[in-house]
Amino acid sequence: MDQRLFAAASAAMERAYAPYSKFQVGAAILAADGQIYSGCNVENAAYPVGTCAEAGAIAAMVCDGRQQIREVVVIGRGDAMCTPCGGCRQRIREFATPETKIHVCGPEGLRRTFTRDELLPESFGPENLS
Ligand code: THU
């Protein structure tokens, strides 16, 4: 795991706005050209409008002109692994290859690394529409 990515995700987690769940999440993406993009969860008093950390990081990447994910770090506190939710697995899927690594971390460091294909096997993607 790229330590710069871990640092970016950790910093994002600290800035997360999660007054309702009290569960802060940070995400960082290493784009194919080496650029790093981060995001945090941003909750809302209208609960369903809240957004995930991964969604924020992906939006920042796309807005900056990159569309290829090389590696992802997701970080959250607590004993359980902060694996990406179902929706975020699909969001990552759009811009990653089956082998792209997703590093699930806690504040202490790496807990487990998954490939995109492990998190979302037999997935639906852009190829289905071509
Ligand atoms: N959350 C994320 O930011 N990413 C995930 O993949 C899992 C869940 C956030 C959403 C919500 O603000 C909080 O964690 C609790 O579900």
CATH number of the domain enclosing 27: 3.40.140.10
Confidence at residue 102, expressed as pLDDT on a 0 to 100 scale? 98
CB distance 49 to 26 below 8 Å: no
- Residue given tokens 């995700």 in the structure block: 9
pTM of the entire structure? Answer: 0.97
Strands 109-115 and 101-106: antiparallel
Report how far residue 100's alpha carbon sits from residue 118's, in angstroms, rounded to the nearest whole number.
10
Report how far residue 14's alpha carbon sits from residue 17's, in angstroms, rounded to the nearest whole number.
9
Atom of ligand 1 nearest to the CA of 83: 6
Residue 128 in any domain: the answer is no
Q: Which domain, by its residues, includes 21?
A: 3-123
Confidence of residue 12 (pLDDT cuts 50, 70, 90): very high
The DSSP output letter for 97 is -
Closest C-alpha residue for ligand 1 atom 9: 52
Residues 7-22 have a mean pLDDT of 98
Confidence at residue 74, expressed as pLDDT on a 0 to 100 scale? 98
Closest C-alpha residue for ligand 1 atom 13: 23
The DSSP output letter for 73 is E
Q: In the annotation, is 54 catalytic?
A: yes
Residue 77 in any domain: the answer is yes
Residue 130 in any domain: the answer is no
Confidence of residue 31 (pLDDT cuts 50, 70, 90): very high
Confidence at residue 117, expressed as pLDDT on a 0 to 100 scale? 98
Residues 43-72 have a mean pLDDT of 98
Domain count, the chain: 1
* C-alpha 2 – ligand 1 centre gap (Å): 22
Residue 129 in any domain: the answer is no
42 within ligand 1 shell (Cβ under 6 A):
no
